[in-house]
């Protein structure tokens, strides 16, 4: 099979993984050196596909032959898809070619399980090793980790890769049993622990070789089974806490060809995925707790964002006087982000904040208005009930084009 | 009215601004323009060439902000900077802040400039020039291009602001000792493996070398691009927000986009698989 045919099959097989980030890598440069590649912590999206997703890395599977039969996966052994396998050298060639063209900032390599977990992991590590050692490649490398692989192999991977990820896919043991019978929550968390331990070992050792400097991440599928958002967010929160994950990715389940009856054959729940990312961002950057966003079982609202939802439930904390309030509370006002909060704090050191300042700072005023006080503004809507406010502020669904043959 | 021309160079502008400030000349009494326009207005005030008595003190960070914002191409490119400088040097630091009316325009420009630098890092595409076997020909070719050696990689890019000189340093770290050249409608840079050479006016020969480079192995990237796209998640609006259409024409994948969108709309939104893969014979694995 020609390289280009393999590429088409193995890229098509890799598109269901949401992550394509090349950020958080340490500063590396090839200036005046042999080899190529650099990284500076900032990710670069070299292109965007018409699904609006960023193309930052060459994201392929080493092979889509697979012994597992995960129901949600297009590459499961019972799936009738064309199969292919790259040699490690072929992946290296493609990575370097795309990198020199400035089409990508590195490689994200994953694989179906062939022969054994150890054998598969060895192959993945071999690609990273070839790139780093033979070709002195200093770009970004993200390797998918096979949970059942020998911890020694995972440790080796962590020395070559900027990022390792172990996909949890389904956050409950029952979900895994039903849809991914070969997988086990225990070994998934064990692999995360191995990576976490590797990171801790080099933490205060400036001379130690780097270990996954861009951290570890995972992915959860949204909508393949009945798991609710509350379970997803609480799982994410404990993964951020237990293993210091850099990112949890949420992947709206995308219907697959020859779909088995066990998973839905429906359009991917993109809005739900979007709300989960918003909520996840509130966990990571704003200091919200999962319990504040969803205290009991259930899903996030689709018609309003989670920050607005929280504010509507905590009207006693508002309206906030922007000239006095704590920065952490300002950041909790709907329509005002962290950057704007910093700018407001800078500004109020110089003079009193007025309403028109918010326009200039490009706040989403429609959302912020009922929750703020400035030196020249007091909200009339402060008296409105949350029900009424929600009705005014919710996103209206986009009118949908009817399908011709629905 | 004083009309000045700084030839779009920050250092020249800085000297001029320093002089203006020292003579306490108000921002509304001065404007910057290219020389041809300068005749339209004539200055009736005469000022001495040497510096005036006013000694301005400004924070160092303001200088960095002004220098970066100076890369912005657009109306009032230089006068806005002088207005900010004027206000800050007269004790009004809000002019530097995004919450201020003037400051918000300054910060908008800064954002545009850094976004455009990022666009260069992201959307520029290098093409490898064919390796010529005869070293003698190479020297001749290089001489024709006014270079010591030929670049190995060339790129054509159309930035909206004057970011090339500073933003292209990124590629020095990225490509190591390789030699590369970036041509734009305005300026150009050439990295000869050791130093970065900037030409304010891109030589025609460089532009044509970059624009007409043959790319016999371009197919792999196009294949990758088409297959990593998930038609079940079609969302062209988000895509255009991140990848403005003005870049499409210089991206090899640009011409593929309309067809991928329309194919996804007309039916392929059922699942994520590309049509070409669905048409191939599959293989179930039996253990």
B122 vs A contacts (CB less than 8 Å): 44-47
Min Cα–Cα distance to chain A from B26, Å: 23
> What is the rounded CA–CA span in Å between residue A224 and residue A28?
39
pLDDT reading at A138 higher than 50:
yes
Closest to A11 (Cβ–Cβ): which among B227, B233, B234? B227
pLDDT tens profile A73-84: 999 999 999 999
Which residue of A lies nearest to B268 if distances are taken between CA atoms?
A: A257
* Measured CA angle at A305 (ends A304, A310), to 5 deg: 95
Cβ atoms of residues A63 and A111 within 8 Å: yes
Cβ atoms of residues B2 and B31 within 8 Å: yes
E strand residue ranges, chain B: 2-4, 30-32, 127-128, 153-156, 180-183, 188-191, 196-199
pLDDT reading at A376 higher than 90:
yes
B171 vs A contacts (CB less than 8 Å): 102
Q: Which residues of chain B have pLDDT under 50?
A: none
Q: B274, A31: Cβ pair inside 8 Å? A: no
Q: Is A90 helix (H, G, I), strand (E, B) or coil?
A: helix
Q: A256, B230: Cβ pair inside 8 Å? A: no
Query: For chains A and B, what is the number of CB pairs under 8 angstroms?
Result: 223
Min Cα–Cα distance to chain B from A40, Å: 10
pLDDT reading at A298 higher than 70:
yes
φ and ψ of A251, to 5 deg: -120, 110
What is the value of ipTM here, to two decimals?
A: 0.93
pLDDT for residue A400 = 58
| Residue A203 burial (10 A CB sphere; 0-12, 13-18, 19+) | exposed
Cβ atoms of residues A216 and A196 within 8 Å: yes
> What is the rounded CA–CA span in Å between residue A341 and residue A332?
9
Closest to B281 (Cβ–Cβ): which among A30, A82, A256? A82
Min Cα–Cα distance to chain B from A151, Å: 26
Give me the count of residues in chain B.
Answer: 287
Min Cα–Cα distance to chain A from B103, Å: 9
A321-330 burial: b if 16+ Cβ within 10 Å, else e:
ebeebeeeeb
C-alpha distance from residue A63 to each of A114, A161, A164 (Å): 8, 19, 18
Q: B98, A360: Cβ pair inside 8 Å? A: yes
Q: Going from the N-terminus, what domains does chain A have, and what CATH number goes with each?
A: 3-293 (3.20.20.70), 306-393 (no CATH)
Q: What is the mean pLDDT of residues A56-64?
A: 98
φ and ψ of A85, to 5 deg: -145, 130
Q: B227, A7: Cβ pair inside 8 Å? A: yes
pLDDT > 90 in chain A, percent: 87
A97 vs B contacts (CB less than 8 Å): 217, 220
pLDDT > 70 in chain A, percent: 98
Q: What is the DSSP letter of A130?
A: I
CA B240 to chain centre: 19
Q: A360, B285: Cβ pair inside 8 Å? A: no
A173 Rama class: left (phi>0) / alpha (psi -120 to 50) / beta: alpha
pLDDT reading at A403 higher than 60:
no
A254 vs B contacts (CB less than 8 Å): 230, 232-233, 271-272
Give me the count of residues in chain A.
Answer: 406
Task: Assign A382 a pLDDT band (cuts: 50, 70, 90).
Answer: confident
Q: A44, B128: Cβ pair inside 8 Å? A: no
Please state whether beta strands B2-4 and B30-32 pair in parallel, antiparallel, or not at all (unpaired). Answer: parallel
Q: A11, B233: Cβ pair inside 8 Å? A: no
Q: B98, A361: Cβ pair inside 8 Å? A: yes
Q: B272, A259: Cβ pair inside 8 Å? A: no
Closest to A267 (Cβ–Cβ): which among B99, B194, B232? B232
pTM recorded for the entire structure: 0.93
Give the DSSP per-residue string, B79-111: HHHHHHHHHHHTT-GGGGSTTSHHHHHHHHHHH
CA A287 to chain centre: 18
Q: A47, B243: Cβ pair inside 8 Å? A: yes
Q: A54, B242: Cβ pair inside 8 Å? A: yes
pLDDT tens profile A313-367: 999 999 999 999 999 999 999 999 999 999 999 999 999 999 999 998 989 999 9
C-alpha distance from residue B52 to each of A291, B28, B176 (Å): 64, 18, 48
Closest to A38 (Cβ–Cβ): which among B118, B173, B227? B173
- Strand partners of residue B2: B30
B184 Rama class: left (phi>0) / alpha (psi -120 to 50) / beta: beta
φ and ψ of B213, to 5 deg: -65, 135
Q: A50, B261: Cβ pair inside 8 Å? A: yes
Closest to B173 (Cβ–Cβ): which among A31, A77, A80? A31
Cβ atoms of residues B270 and A73 within 8 Å: no
Q: Is A254 helix (H, G, I), strand (E, B) or coil?
A: coil
Cβ atoms of residues A48 and A55 within 8 Å: yes
- Residue B26: how many other CB atoms lie within 10 Å: 10
> What is the rounded CA–CA span in Å between residue B208 and residue A397?
49
pLDDT tens profile A183-237: 999 999 999 999 999 999 998 888 888 999 999 999 999 999 999 999 999 999 9
pLDDT for residue B140 = 78
Task: Assign A406 a pLDDT band (cuts: 50, 70, 90).
Answer: very low
Tokens of B104: 């918000």
Cβ atoms of residues A400 and A391 within 8 Å: no
A14 vs B contacts (CB less than 8 Å): 228
């Amino acid at each position: 099979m020609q390289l280009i045919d393999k590429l088409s099959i193995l890229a098509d097989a890799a598109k269901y993984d949401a992550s394509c980030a090349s950020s958080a890598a340490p500063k590396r440069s090839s200036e005046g050196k042999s080899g190529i590649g650099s990284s500076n912590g900032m990710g670069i999206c070299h292109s965007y596909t018409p699904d609006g997703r960023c193309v930052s890395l060459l994201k392929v599977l080493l092979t889509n032959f697979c012994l597992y039969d995960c129901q949600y996966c297009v590459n499961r052994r019972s799936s009738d898809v064309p199969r292919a396998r790259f040699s490690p050298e072929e992946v290296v060639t493609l990575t370097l070619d795309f990198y020199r063209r400035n089409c990508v900032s590195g490689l994200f390599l994953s694989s179906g399980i062939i022969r054994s977990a150890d054998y598969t992991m060895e192959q993945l590590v071999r690609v990273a090793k070839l790139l780093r050692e033979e070709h002195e490649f200093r770009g970004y490398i993200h390797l998918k980790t096979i949970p059942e692989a020998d911890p020694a192999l995972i440790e080796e991977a962590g020395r070559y890769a900027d990022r390792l990820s172990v996909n949890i896919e389904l956050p409950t043991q029952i979900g895994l049993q039903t849809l991914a019978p070969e997988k086990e929550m225990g070994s998934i968390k064990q692999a995360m622990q191995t990576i976490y331990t590797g990171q801790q070992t080099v933490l205060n050792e400036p001379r130690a070789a780097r270990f996954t400097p861009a951290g570890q991440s995972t992915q959860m599928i949204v909508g393949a089974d009945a798991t609710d958002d509350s379970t997803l967010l609480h799982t994410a929160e404990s993964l951020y806490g237990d293993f210091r994950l850099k990112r949890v990715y949420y992947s709206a389940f995308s219907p697959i060809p020859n779909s088995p009856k066990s998973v839905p054959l429906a359009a991917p729940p993109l809005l739900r995925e979007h709300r989960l990312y918003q909520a996840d961002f509130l966990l990571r950057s704003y200091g919200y707790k999962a319990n504040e966003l969803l205290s009991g079982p259930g899903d996030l609202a689709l018609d309003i964002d989670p920050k607005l939802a929280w504010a509507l439930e905590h009207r006693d904390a508002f309206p906030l006087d922007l000239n006095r309030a704590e920065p952490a509370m300002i950041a909790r006002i709907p329509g005002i982000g962290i950057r704007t909060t910093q700018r407001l704090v800078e500004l109020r050191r110089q003079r009193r904040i007025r309403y028109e300042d918010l326009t200039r700072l490009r706040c989403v005023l429609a959302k912020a208005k009922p929750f703020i006080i400035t030196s020249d503004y007091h909200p009339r809507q402060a008296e409105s009930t949350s029900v009424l406010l929600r009705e005014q502020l919710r996103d209206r669904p986009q009118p949908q084009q009817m399908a011709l043959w629905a | 009215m004083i009309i000045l021309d700084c030839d779009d160079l920050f250092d020249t502008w800085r000297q001029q601004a320093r002089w203006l400030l020292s003579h306490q000349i108000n921002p509304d009494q001065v404007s910057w323009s290219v020389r041809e326009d300068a005749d339209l207005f004539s200055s009736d005030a005469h000022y001495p060439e040497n510096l005036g008595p006013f000694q301005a003190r400004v924070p160092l960070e303001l200088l960095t902000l002004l220098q970066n914002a100076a890369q912005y191409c657009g109306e009032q490119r230089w006068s806005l900077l002088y207005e900010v400088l004027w206000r800050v040097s007269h004790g009004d630091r809000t002019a530097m802040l995004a919450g201020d009316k003037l400051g918000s325009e300054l910060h908008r420009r800064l954002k545009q400039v850094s976004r455009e630098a990022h666009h260069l890092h992201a959307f520029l595409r290098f093409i490898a020039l064919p390796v010529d076997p005869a070293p003698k020909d190479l020297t001749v070719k290089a001489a024709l291009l006014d270079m010591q050696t030929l670049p190995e990689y060339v790129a054509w890019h159309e930035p909206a602001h004057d970011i090339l000189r500073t933003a292209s340093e990124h590629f020095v770290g990225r490509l190591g000792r390789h030699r590369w050249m970036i041509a734009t409608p305005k300026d150009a840079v050439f990295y000869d493996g050791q130093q970065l050479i900037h030409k304010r006016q891109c030589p025609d020969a460089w532009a044509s070398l970059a624009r007409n480079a043959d790319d016999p192995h371009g197919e792999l990237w196009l294949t990758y691009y088409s297959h990593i796209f998930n038609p079940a998640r079609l969302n062209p609006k988000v895509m255009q927000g991140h990848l403005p259409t003005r870049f499409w024409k210089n991206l090899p994948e640009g011409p593929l986009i309309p067809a991928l969108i329309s194919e996804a709309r007309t039916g392929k939104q059922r699942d994520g698989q590309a049509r070409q893969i669905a048409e191939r014979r599959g293989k179930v694995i039996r253990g």
